[in-house]
Amino acid sequence: MAATSARAATVGAGRPAPLGPWGAFLVRRVAGLAAVAVTLVVGTFLMVQLIPGDPARVVAGGDATPADVERVRHELGLDRPLFTQFADYAGGLLRGDLGSSFQTTEPVARIIGDRLPFTAEIALLSVLAVLLLAVPIGLAVAARGSRRADSSFTFVTGTVGATPEYVIGTLLVLGFAIKLGWLPAAGAETLASLVLPVAALVLPATCVMARIVRREAAQVLAQDYMRTARGRRLSPLRLYARHALPNLLTATLTLGGLILAGLLGGTVVVESVFAWPGIGQRVVEALLVRDYPVVQGCVLVLGLLAALLNLLVDLVLALLDPRVLAGKGAN
Amino acid sequence: MPRSRFLSGAVTVAALSLAASACTTGPAGGPSSDGDGSGGGTVRIGFTSDVTSFDPAKGAGATDYALTSLLYQPLIGQDDGGAFVPGLAEKWTSTPTKTTLTLKKGLTCSDGSPLTASQTVASLRRYQAESAGALLTFGPANAGEKTTITGDDKTGTVTITTSAPWGEVLAGLSGTAAGIVCKAGLDAGDALARGAVEGAATGPYEMAKAQRGASYELRLRKGYTVFPQYAAVPAGEPAGRLRIQIAKNESTLANQLQTGALDLAPFTGTDAKRFGDSDNGSDNGTFTVKSAPLIRHYVGFNQRSGRPGADPKIRKAVAQALSVDAFNNVFGGTGQKLTSYVDDKAPCVSTDSSLLTGTDKAAARQVLKGVVIKLEGSNAVAGGAGNSYVAEALRAAGADVKLTNADNATWATDVTANQGDWDLTVFPLISGALARGGAYFLGPEPAEGGLNYGAVQNTAYARHYVAATSVTDRNAKCAAWQKAQEALLTSHDVIPLATVDVHYATRKGISFATPTGALSLSTLRVTG
């Protein structure tokens, strides 16, 4: 760690940095995060206003008279000027209040608190599985260097990687739940319920990532220092784990962060296929009934989480590769 | 060594997963018996939408109605053929201006406290104030203080008096929205909508567990005996527990039903065919499929000046361009071809097919050629496939159709609130009652506080509607309804199409009734 900091200081020594390379790096990243947050707040508020349809009418119900609809509109605060509504929304955010659902009157914070753990669970497990599978597979194919293995690998990963998650999910249910009866078809009641939704997310993502790892690994393995390492007759495990893998980490982590950020919001289809009570499903429900506070709150929280994850990945990359501090890193 | 350790770890994880799976996947032979000892075990039911409100007066979807009907029982029920049956009330009398109901003896709330006439009155007053549907329970001319609701705790009677005659009070009181809420629920304010309130229930079940958006578990109240007395309630015991699970799509529900994780699930799409041929009462040995109308489709017109629908000839030509059989086939051909704007389960519905205009494409073409028609429909049912059929049929007759397949919220805003630019709609009517569905064809327009979205001006229909809804005598009511429907159908203000049915697939050993064509989970019994 001390060595890393010293190297970082050396890298940043060429330009005036009163905060030091780490300080400047953090200021840049936090300022970026703040800009993302402001954009998300304004963007989500304006986005829901553009959706056609009247939330007051949806809440009032099919039998409602226009007077009922107007009463509901007033109760929801939708009869006030747009700027006043935004000021209330932004003021609420500053107090930590995300508002309440138009439909169920539940606080949005509670809805997110109830749903986010489910989405996070399958997203985090999926990323972990993707990393644990894709890196060794990609590395192994690159190390083998066989044209036949390479062709098979390209065919399989190309096919599975291009298959939509809902198709994979449906096939998994058909095979493992309906035909074999080994795993639950849907629900979130036990650990076993995790297997199929995570598999549906992991298979295509693993294929995409394994292809990238293979390409990166092929470049790394062709480097002079790898030839030197081979010349020292190191064991394959030591050769790849100690000399090749660290040089793949930058690309792998960058991609892993993007995959996780994507999975947080992108589990909608898988949550639907497996009746997984995550946040993606709730956003779709809320969109269909024009439940503005729920849409705003969920999109805002998901967006901020994605931004935070990217920040975390940047920090880890900066620790691993100090060139990142000066904005010259691989990513 | 690392490899063998990895393999053994993987095998352990797989084995644990399978063991956990075996614990969760329910028995394939019928309801499980892990209830609390009362009733007939646990029945697991799937729905595709979550509850939006636990307040019976504010229910808006199938799952809302299903759950609140179990928690809050109405005073009476309406059975097939229109007969009223006891619920919380054991007897009643009704005239066009006065309805008196006598509560059953020994009624209690779910906390054990007695349910009195005064509490029932408070619940009905709240229903009148809070529910949009209450307007058609007490009558449009009897809003607010023009309806008085009083109770006598000594005799256990509740009396409803309206200033203007209105003959639909009993029908309105039989609806799920009029379910009686005990004092604990009335005092809870908005909390009643957010979740079941302890001590508020008057129905056969109380909430045991709730995980919003995922599952709910209801427990049968001990010693509960005042179930609604529909004629077709199956023999057997009510379930000791009902576990409601939410899955967003029907294929997922079908997978769960097929693998033994559910015992009952509703389907509007082709997944129902996995469990039988979707005919009413079809039985493939493991599952039974029972069908009931969910949506009643008809064509409605914007009849405002300058719109094509203002011309009776064009309305008739639209009827001639359409084939009800073809429309029904769009939804698998399992729906009921309508002879009015509601299905034949509705009391007093017209079944006279001579009032309908048959398909005559040549005649339709002569009138519709070159006519520009803006068709807006909801895509809530089968992605709007019915709208697409109507659009294509009108195009085939020469009309220049601009189709908008909107989501339900947009459609409701554009058409039923008349804030959009539309000429014709394929209306998905949820209510199966003539008075409720027919309220869309008379009175003020939405901009003036009414429901008449198409600005229909059919004075004969309006006169007969008022006559039908102002009497309680069944013969006089049906005679007036016949004339009202004749006026509406022969002027082509409405063109009946077909129902889209919901197919309830149940595992063997479970049965329930569908009075007036609607699912009643209070009638669910474990039969074997």
At A231-261, the pLDDT tens digits run 888 887 788 877 787 777 777 788 777 777 7
Which one has a higher pLDDT value, B196 or A174? Answer: A174
Cα–Cα dist B185/B119, whole Å = 11
List chain A residues with CB under 8 Å of B60. 59, 61-62
Nearest Cα of chain A lies from the Cα of B477 at a distance, in angstroms, of 23
| pLDDT per residue as tens digits for the range A266-315 | 677 888 889 888 888 888 888 888 899 999 999 899 888 888 888 888 88
The residue ranking higher by pLDDT, B505 or A65, is B505
Domains (ranges, CATH) in chain A?
Answer: 2-94 (no CATH), 114-288 (1.10.3720.10)
- B32 contact A CB<8A: no
- The answer on B269 and B158 residing in a single domain is no
* Kind plus residue range of the DSSP H or E element containing B42: strand B42-47
Q: Specify the pLDDT at position A327.
A: 62
Full DSSP string of A228-291 = HHHHTT--HHHIIIIIIHHHHHHHHHHHHHHHHHHHHHH-HHHHHHTT---HHHHHHHHHHTT-
Residue B460 has a pLDDT of: 97
| B23 in any annotated domain | no
- Kindly state whether residues B144 and B80 are assigned to the same domain: yes
Contacts of A103 in chain B (CB under 8 A): 52-53
Q: Same domain for B323 and B411?
A: yes
pLDDT in tens, B308-323: 999 999 999 999 999 9
Q: Does A69 touch chain B (CB under 8 A)?
A: yes
Put simply, whether B416 touches A (Cβ < 8 Å) is yes
* Amino acid B32: pLDDT: 54
| Option in B21, B261, B430 nearest A62 (CB) | B430
Backbone dihedral angles phi then psi of residue A212, each to the nearest 5 degrees: -70, -40
Task: Examine residue B434 and state whether it is found in any structural domain, yes or no.
Answer: yes
Q: Among the listed ranges A48-57, B70-79, B374-383, B418-427, which one has the minimum average pLDDT value?
A: A48-57
- Rounded Cα–Cα distance for residues A318 and A310 (Å): 12
pLDDT value, residue A266: 61
Helices (H), B223-285: 250-258
pLDDT at A8: 44
User: Is B356 in the same domain as B250?
Assistant: no
Considering B185, B211, B226, which residue would you say is the last residue of a domain? B185
Burial A121-154, CB ≥16 within 10 A → b, else e: bbbebbbebbbebbbebbbbbbbeeeeeeeeebe
Q: How many beta carbons lie within 10 A of that of residue B244, not counting itself?
A: 23
Q: What per-residue confidence (pLDDT) applies to A59? A: 82
Residue B146 within a domain: yes
Q: Are residues B230 and B243 in the same domain?
A: yes
β-pair partners for A185? none
Mean pLDDT of A29-57: 88
Domain at B508, CATH number: 3.40.190.10
Give the minimum alpha-carbon distance from B365 to chain A in angstroms, rounded to a whole number.
34
* pLDDT attached to residue B122: 97
- Tokens of residue A33, six digits: 């995060």
Residues of A in Cβ contact (< 8 Å) with B135? 63, 65
A17 at interface of B, judged by CB pairs closer than 8 A: no
- List of chain B residues whose C-beta atoms are within 8 Å of the C-beta of residue A114: 211-213
A170 has a chain B CB within 8 A of its CB: yes
Domain harbouring B93, CATH code: 3.90.76.10
Per the domain annotation, does B6 fall within a domain? no
Confidence of residue A321 (pLDDT cuts 50, 70, 90): confident
pLDDT on residue B20: 37
Q: Which of B20, B251, B255 sits opposite A192 (nearest CB)?
A: B20
Bridge partners, B502 (sequence order): B292
Tell me which of A4-8, A66-70, A132-136, B186-190 is least confident.
A4-8
Picking from B259, B404, B415 by the largest number of A CB atoms within 10 A of its own CB, the best residue to mutate is: B259
Q: How many residues does chain B have?
A: 528
Give the C-alpha distances (Å, rounded to integers) separating A265 from A111, A121, A282, A296, B505: 16, 13, 11, 14, 33
User: Nearest Cα to A53, choosing from B341, B59, B380, B429?
Assistant: B380
Q: Would you state the pLDDT for residue B211?
A: 84
The verdict on residue B4 lying in a domain is: no
Average pLDDT of the residues in B450-471? 95
The average pLDDT across B239-245 equals 95
**The pair of three-digit structure tokens given for residue B5, joined into one six-digit string:** 């350790």
pLDDT at residue B92, as a whole number:
97
pLDDT surpassing 80 at residue A16: no
Q: pLDDT, tens digit, for every residue of B7-34?
A: 333 333 333 333 333 333 333 445 554 4
Confidence at residue B279, expressed as pLDDT on a 0 to 100 scale: 55
Same domain, B55 and B97: no
Using an 8 Å CB-CB cutoff, list chain A residues near B193. 104-105
Q: Which pLDDT score, from 0 to 100, does residue B164 have? A: 94
Domain count for chain B: 3
Nearest to A184 among B21, B406, B436 (CB): B21
Residues of B in contact with A68 (CB under 8 A): 132
**Cα–Cα distance for residue pair B3/B1, rounded to 1 Å:** 5
Of B237, B259, B235, whose CA–CA distance to B247 is shortest? B259
Task: Compute the nearest-CA separation of A284 from chain B (Å).
Answer: 10
Q: Which of residues 197-256 of A touch B (CB under 8 A)?
A: none
pLDDT score of B56 more than 80: yes
Whether B214 and A55 lie within 8 Å, measured CB to CB: no
Query: What gap in Å lies between CA B290 and CA B504, rounded to an integer?
Result: 5
- Residue B2 belongs to some domain of the structure: no
C-alpha span between B50 and B73 (Å, rounded): 21
Chain A residues closer than 8 Å to B245 by CB: 187, 275
B508 and B476 both lie in a single domain: no
CB atoms within 10 A of CB B475: 9
From B52, B132, B135, residue closest to A103, measured CB to CB: B52
Please give the share of chain B, as a percent, with pLDDT higher than 90: 67
Q: Is the pLDDT of residue B330 over 60?
A: yes
The arithmetic mean of pLDDT across residues A60-88, rounded, is: 86
Chain B positions touching A55 (Cβ under 8 A) are 409
Supply the mean pLDDT for chain B: 88
Supply φ then ψ for residue B50, to 5 degrees.
Answer: -80, 165
Q: Which domain holds residue B169?
A: 75-185
Are B157 and B254 within one domain?
no
Can you tell me the mean pLDDT for B137-159?
94
Contact map slice: B 83-122 vs A, CB within 8 A: none
**pLDDT band at B380; cut points 50, 70, 90:** confident
Asked whether the predicted pLDDT for residue A2 surpasses 60, the reply is no
Q: Does B245 touch chain A (CB under 8 A)?
A: yes
* Distance, CA of A215 to CA of B375 (rounded, Å): 54
CATH number at residue B371: 3.10.105.10
pLDDT of residue B14: 38
| B324 and B219 part of one domain | no
* Same domain for B198 and B58: yes
* Residue B340, pLDDT above cutoff 90: yes
ipTM of the shown complex: 0.72
Are both B308 and B275 inside the same structural domain?
Answer: no
